[in-house]
Amino acid sequence: MTFGEFLWSLLIFYFIFFYFLILFRILSDLFSDSDTSGLMKTVWIIALLFLPFITMIVYLITRGKSMAERQMARHQAAAADQADYIRRVAGSNGSAGGGDPAAQIAKGQELLQSGAINQVEFDALKAKALA
Are residues 71 and 17 part of one domain? yes
Per the CB < 8 A criterion, the answer to whether 90 and 84 are in contact is no
pTM of the predicted model over 0.75:
no
Instruction: Print the domain residue range for 17.
Output: 3-93
Are residues 122 and 73 part of one domain? no
> How many domains does the chain fold into?
2
pLDDT tens across 82-103, in order?
Answer: 988 887 777 655 544 456 788 8
Contacts of 111 (CB under 8 A, 6+ apart): 96, 117, 122
| pLDDT above 70 for 9 | yes
